Amino acid sequence: LTSRDGVLDLALEAAPTRVRIGAREASVQAFNSSLPGPTLRIRGGDTLRVAMTNGLEAPTNLHVHGLHVSPEGNGDNPFVSIEPGESFDYEYVLPQDHAPGTYWYHPHRHGHVADQVAAGLYGTIVVEDPDPVPVARERVLVVSDITLDGSGNLTEASPPQRMMGREGETVLVNGQVRPEAAAAPGERELWRVVNACPSRYLRLTLDGQGLRLLGRDVGRLPEPVEVTEVMLAPGNRVELLVDTREGTSTLRTAPVDRGSMGGMMGGAAPGEGPGDDEPINLLILEVAGDPVEEPGPVPAGTALRDLRDEPVDARRTLDFDMDMGMGMGGMRGMSGPGGMMSFTIDGREFDAERIDQRAQVGTVEEWTLINSSPMDHPMHLHVWPMQVVADGDRDVSGPRWQDVVNIPAFGEVTVRVAFEAFSGRTVYHCHILDHEDLGMMGAIEVR
Ligand code: C2O
Ligand code: CU
Ligand code: CU
């Protein structure tokens, strides 16, 4: 669905749906009966209007992940709740100079996010590039995972799966198991890959093909960078240029060690069970036929503001932790939604009535994100992109703008944020959606 004359008007229904996954019938939840939901194509300066209807049995809402739009009013507001059978009208106005890129949408009703995304509620938003890279074709690849029982019905996540962050048994690309794609040698393709899994990290490889990273989450890198492997935490997106070479290649995801609750819980965590150490084949690419001519050069991308050399107006620290709840909060921890554990930022679980951080419009802040726990937490901030300025031993010499930044177990990452353009209240949280539902989220008000 593409905007016309600066507007994209859309009726979106979240509802239970029967779909075909290969030869199987499955009962999932989806937007407009389509798994994934429709891809929305808009441009800087556009208005996106969504009339959303809740056809589910639980409350829901809509979030446009990564879009730089006002959090004020009915905009990108995670505090809205749409009850079953009700509707809500969203309007998002993109600034003229909105960063091009691959974004996505999903429900964000606290307490239900992981269940609803795991059930199939997600879709892609493309903000078109005013200086597009010439390519033979573009593919949107939404990677998700799902667990279905023998009759094709969704299964419920167990308490330990929620604590670890559930990983679905079947990994899908655009709602299918291992789809096939075809190209001719010498073509250049643009792949927009969305990690829509609630908790699964992706470590992608594509054997036998030339792979260049064009962008990550928001905007484009100044130059495409050759890569052999790309890592996506839950919520991350990448834009890849595939320079096709003759042969059959497989897009795979290798297992990622994202830590575990170790001795804290007992039982095998994802990545520790039998078979979890095997790569998963996601898509088969068949490159054959007559070679085509070299595509034109890659034009310079619209880079985001580089904050590395800018003065910092304020600094703050956020501490992500999981607590066994044996201390002061012990009893509360036992009875809370996380069962034995509490999932906190700065020692507190999410409270929609509380403002955890206050920042000023027009300032640049530096945030040190600390992970005091034995599991990775991918941190996500709404509305304003983050620029990673320090990440352990990882190279940050080239600019790295992201809206989801992984904080490794017992590690820390430093980011800078320019609180530009908008005021209002929004959230930051762990994008392991089970952790977000269990309380690992905070509210920020920017004035
Ligand atoms: Cu993708 Cu606050 O979410
Ligand atoms: Cu988001
Ligand atoms: Cu987490």
* Residue 334 reports pLDDT greater than 90: no
Distance 421 CA to ligand 2 centre (A): 17
Q: Is 263 exposed, middle or buried (0-12, 13-18, 19+ CB in 10 A)?
A: exposed
Structure tokens at 222: 């100044």
* Residue 330 reports pLDDT greater than 50: no
How far apart CA 133 and CA 223 sit, in angstroms, is: 11
* Average pLDDT score, the chain: 92
**Contact between 105 and 63 (Cβ < 8 Å):** yes
* Residue 77 reports pLDDT greater than 80: no
**Contact between 92 and 67 (Cβ < 8 Å):** yes
Closest CA to 102 of 350, 434, 407, 403: 403
What atom of ligand 1 comes closest to residue 66's alpha carbon?
1
Q: Which ligand is nearest to the CA of 113?
A: 1
> 254-306: per-residue pLDDT in tens?
999 999 876 455 444 554 544 567 999 999 999 999 999 888 899 988 779 99
Given this model, what pLDDT does residue 242 score? 97
* The CATH number of the domain covering residues in 137-287: 2.60.40.420
How far apart CA 102 and CA 141 sit, in angstroms, is: 11
pTM of the model: 0.95
Distance 19 CA to ligand 3 centre (A): 30
- Residues whose CB is under 5 A from ligand 3 (ion)? 377, 430, 432, 435
Distance 376 CA to ligand 3 centre (A): 6
Given this model, what pLDDT does residue 329 score? 43
How far apart CA 293 and CA 291 sit, in angstroms, is: 7
Please indicate whether residue 94 or residue 393 has the higher confidence score (pLDDT).
Answer: 94
Give rounded-to-5 percent helix, strand, coil for the chain: 5, 45, 50
**Contact between 416 and 330 (Cβ < 8 Å):** no
Residue nearest to atom 3 of ligand 1 (CA): 65
* Residue 221 reports pLDDT greater than 70: yes
**Contact between 9 and 38 (Cβ < 8 Å):** no
Given this model, what pLDDT does residue 275 score? 52
**What is the percentage of the chain residues whose pLDDT exceeds 90?**
85
The CA distances from residue 436 to 205, 349, 407, in Å, are: 29, 9, 15
Over range 66-78, report the average pLDDT.
85
Tell me which fold the domain 7-127 belongs to: Immunoglobulin-like (2.60.40)
Sign of CA dihedral 413, 219, 134, 42: positive
- Tell whether omega for the bond before 132 is within 30 degrees of 0, i.e. cis: no
On whether the 314-446 domain is CATH 3.10.520.10, my answer is no
| Element spanning 162, H or E | helix 159-164
Over range 358-362, report the average pLDDT.
98
What atom of ligand 1 comes closest to residue 235's alpha carbon?
1
End-to-end Cα, the chain, rounded Å: 35
How far apart CA 367 and CA 444 sit, in angstroms, is: 13
Distance 167 CA to ligand 3 centre (A): 13
Q: Which ligand is nearest to the CA of 369?
A: 3
What atom of ligand 1 comes closest to residue 404's alpha carbon?
1
Q: Which ligand is nearest to the CA of 198?
A: 1
How far apart CA 378 and CA 234 sit, in angstroms, is: 7
Which of 70-79, 122-131, 175-184, 327-336 bottoms out in mean pLDDT, i.e. has the lowest?
327-336
- Find the angle CA(239)-CA(242)-CA(243) to the nearest 5 degrees: 145
Name the segment(s) of the chain with CATH classification 2.60.40.420.
Answer: 7-127, 137-287, 314-446
Closest CA to 279 of 300, 301, 253: 253
* Residue 338 reports pLDDT greater than 60: no
How far apart CA 53 and CA 73 sit, in angstroms, is: 19
Question: Band of the pLDDT at 50, cuts 50, 70, 90?
Answer: very high
* Residue 94 reports pLDDT greater than 70: yes
Distance 76 CA to ligand 2 centre (A): 9
Over range 162-180, report the average pLDDT.
97
For ligand 1, which residues put their CB under 6 angstroms from it? 63, 65, 106, 108, 235, 380, 382, 429, 431
Strand order in the sheet with 424-430: 357-359, 441-446, 424-430, 377-381, 404-407
What atom of ligand 1 comes closest to residue 78's alpha carbon?
2
The CA distances from residue 167 to 38, 110, 232, 265, 287, in Å, are: 24, 19, 14, 17, 31
* Residue 346 reports pLDDT greater than 60: yes
Distance 115 CA to ligand 1 centre (A): 14
Given this model, what pLDDT does residue 158 score? 94
> 406-430: per-residue pLDDT in tens?
999 999 999 999 999 999 999 999 9
Which of 77-81, 115-119, 234-238 bottoms out in mean pLDDT, i.e. has the lowest?
77-81
**Contact between 250 and 219 (Cβ < 8 Å):** no
Given this model, what pLDDT does residue 302 score? 77
